[in-house]
Structure 1
Amino acid sequence: MKAKKYLWSIICVYFCYLTHGIQAIILSQNNVNFAKQWGFNMSDPQSAAYAAGLAAVSTAVAWTGFGKFISVWIGGEISDRVGRKKLMIGGAALYIICFLGFLFTKSALVASVCGFASGVATSGFWDASGYPAVQEAYPAAPGSALVGIKFFVSLSGMVYPLLVVHNANSGNWKLNVMIPVVMSIICLVLAIIAPFVYDDQKKASEGNDGKSKDAVQAEIDAAKAAMLTKPSKFVVFLVMFYAFLCMAIMYGAQQYTKAFGLSVCGLSEMQAAGMTSIYTIGSICAVLFWAFMMAKLKWSPLKVVLIDSICTAVALAGVLFIHQVAIIYIAIAMLGFFAAGGALQTGLAVVQLFNPGPKGRNTGIYYTFMGAASYLIPVVAAQLTKASGEANAVYSLMIMLLVFAILAILSSLYLVAQHKKIFGKSAL
């Protein structure tokens, strides 16, 4: 069985995304300590200097998103050309450099450069190679294999915020940066020793490249042959644009849930960190649930996306308009379940359904839209924080996420109607 033969490649990708789960939130979870390290006076939360420090952290986060945005498209093309292993190794090496930069730099500018490089490492290297790699290693249920990535991102997202508070209270906040340095070194070792399906096939077909390309093209042609009509350009755009909507919601909730709890809900530091963990627990439960639904019950990825979009809007409305701690915790758990529980990865399966093509290329285009969102959200957050303070900024940001969720519902409903037209059967 291919999944057993290439188990190490699956382990490698999943451990890399366990590490990425920390990279995604390391700046926002340690924002005050990083700002202090970069020379900002963070003694008075009401001061302009404090707001400037938080804005500097958001700017570094934005550069991470920009690195994702500009690299993932070309990364997908390179992955299809040179194979998965080289990009997985390169991403791990870049992660080590970036985390060491975060650990030692006293400059917000250098931290932003490290943020940019970590974005390139994540999307240009790992997303472009890791996502196709797990699909190729587990062809029996590629959708479930993709959702498994989200499980490991969520796992570190659940545990890490609590570690951050514990280590900070113990006076060892830099342990929060040392941990991902060690994990990145393990990623590098795994990437070096793991075999990858695509790379082995590429080696086997050297000198016989025509047959390899024919096999890939035959798979694409078979997917296109299942269509009664060709999807319009607008349909193709919508399935790609979903990455922007989904990532904007997921990234905004992931990065600013703690700030929302502290500044809007009046929670303690540990309670606010607990919100992030509850959000992540919801996403882990969703990963397991949707993996079962798609692998065993053969639910359409589009059906999952529609349900996720509707329930995400409901959860965001609960967070925004019902300011009771118990209700907020329930809404945050729902938000994690439906917005961060593999919705982004499931959307990629929808892309392959409506727009069959080389997996690396489709992943690259899809995650370019994702990168745009991960750049836009922290930029908006930084500007709002400067203009109106942290409490108003995070509240306005949550309203914007609700608007995006409504757009995702409308897009999904349109795609459900198009699915009937294109494939002759309902996605529901």
Structure 2
Amino acid sequence: MSATSSTGSTAGRYESTTPTVGVEEEFILVDPTSWLPSTDNAAVAETASALGMDLQLELSRCQVETNSPVCQSIGELRTHLIDMRRRAAKAAELNGCRLLAVGAPLSGPSRFEISDAPRYRQMGERFGALAAEQSICGCHIHVGVADQAEAVQVCNHVRIWLPALLALSANSRVHQGSDTEFASWRAIQWSRWPVAGPPPYFESAADFDTVVARMVDCGVMLDERMAYWDVRPSCHLPTVEIRVCDVQPTADDAALLATLGRALVATALGAIDRGIEAPNISLENLRLATWVSAKEGVLGTSIDPVTTQRISATELLHRLLIHVRDSLDETGEYASVESALRNKSVTGGGSDWQQRTLRQVCLRELIARAVQRTTPIEPARMDTHAEPATDQ
């Protein structure tokens, strides 16, 4: 959740053979001595600005957010993700803290101070403990589309695959020093908001606008920006925003999710062009499948949202891979994605790494190792002065 939103332009899908893509990543700041969350995000953001990077504040004072530029290719995006992580980590170090890519704080209290921004103060006043306990970090993928009407239809096609993306991205098993026994504790915490989780099926952009306006009128949201569904049309940009994923341990993991997210949107656009309607899967089925993915992660059980049949998460991801194969073939990315998913089916994701590591070392060492994984070692050589691709 960024307190500010981008007004920069983003390329539409018709300016290239494949849609444009951008990513926002949310991070926890931690103290390298106590390894507790650090509440210096305003100072870190100010230092980042001096380093030539626009680092956004998040709802909690222990969080910051990076926004990538609009990218034409995944290779370009990956380079930006690496560079932004390195710059954000440098800004954190200059303020005596470290950057940590986990979906929920590994240690610390249950509540945190709200960031000093008018919108966040208003959220704190309206939502109390719900806002104060909202120190969770996601990876949000923006993919270019023509307009809101197209975005709504794309969301209808993509929503069925949200449980698969959540299982793959789960990176928040350890929270406040304990094993929650949920692969994505972030997803469980996030579901407490009145407009979160998988979205309903919307018949049109007007239908979407009507539902959002009704929720604002009811007082459960401050405005349309608080429609926190796991996939949604962007409020200010011609993009579809996929929001279901935990922030990833590494930039390569984030690039993998972006690749799949863009392929899902490209596949949906192809279906729309051919007049194929999205399957109107019940919201109850999607919520059930999402909950199971949050519990089990990539190495566990999943639920087929269509049949509610129990299948493995790896089988669900295999079906996803088949679904988007033509789009991945078009960009030459199928082989690398297939290899990465095969590896994940053996080694697991971020949550599995957290569980294994906590069994081997103390909590402090777990946090130290997670910090090391967050920031790439190799140097990046590019300018990140560009309009951000994302908003919230």
State the TM bucket, normalised to the shorter chain.
Answer: 0.3 to 0.5
TM-score normalised by L of structure 2: 0.32
Rg larger in structure: 1
Query: What TM-score, normalized by structure 1, do the two folds share?
Result: 0.30
In terms of fraction of residues, the more strand-rich structure is: 2
Q: Which has a greater percent of helix?
A: 1
